Amino acid sequence: MRTFKLQVQTTVDGYMAGPNGEMDWMTFPWTGDLDAYIDALCESVDCIVLGRKLAEGFIPVWADRTPDDGEPQETIDWMNNTPKVVISNTLTESPWENASVAGGDLTDIVKRLKARPGGDLIAYGGGTLVSELIAKDLLDELHLFVNPAAIGSGMPVFPDAGAYHRLRLVAAQSFDCGIAALHYEPNRA
């Protein structure tokens, strides 16, 4: 069975975006040690899972990227060539190349994706999708990239669903740019 990973940027106080979707708190440029960590994280991945709202910006931005934008060509190629599944109950077909749309019950969608042959899956968001994946306990690994910033309010990574989310720390690593990666797995015991 495929492993379903989450990779998300977060603030120290647990937000993935500000109150109006601001993401100006993110640390850039990344350093080579963080790039290498992400390369290793994605090595086994052959499918990117996105929510519709994030896909509307994410897919076109990567399609237009060039090495002049500061990304290595290998990263650009991987982002563009890796098949994507966009979770949406409003789209019926994909307007993007190399992306399909999946609608309906999120738990059923994830079970079907994980049952397919292939490498691992990785979700990048957006906020609604991340919250639902966490609330429904559908992720196998959570990779939180904690940026050295606190914003006080905004879109939380963890939903306020009235339930505890018990996690087991697998690894923690800091990077030269100031970001710390926290790798968790759900503690389902």
Local confidence band at 188 (pLDDT 50, 70, 90 cut-offs):
confident
pLDDT one-digit tens code per residue, 130-165: 999 999 999 999 999 999 999 999 999 997 766 688
pLDDT one-digit tens code per residue, 9-54: 999 999 999 999 899 999 988 999 999 999 999 999 999 999 999 9
Token code pair at residue 75: 């990263």
As assigned by CATH, the class of the 4-186 domain is alpha beta
- Closest of 160, 149, 181 to residue 24, by C-alpha: 149
* pLDDT of res. 137: 93
Are the beta carbons of 3 and 141 closer than 8 angstroms? yes
In a 13 Å sphere around the CA of 31, the CA atoms on its Cβ side amount to: 9
What distance separates the 2 farthest-apart alpha carbons in the chain? Answer: 48
- Closest of 106, 130, 109, 107 to residue 53, by C-alpha: 130
Provide φ and ψ at 157, rounded to 5°. -70, -45
SS3 22: coil
Query: Is the pTM of the predicted complex or chain greater than 0.75?
Result: yes
Query: What are the residue boundaries of the structural domains of the chain, listed by start?
Result: 4-186
Provide φ and ψ at 62, rounded to 5°. -70, -35
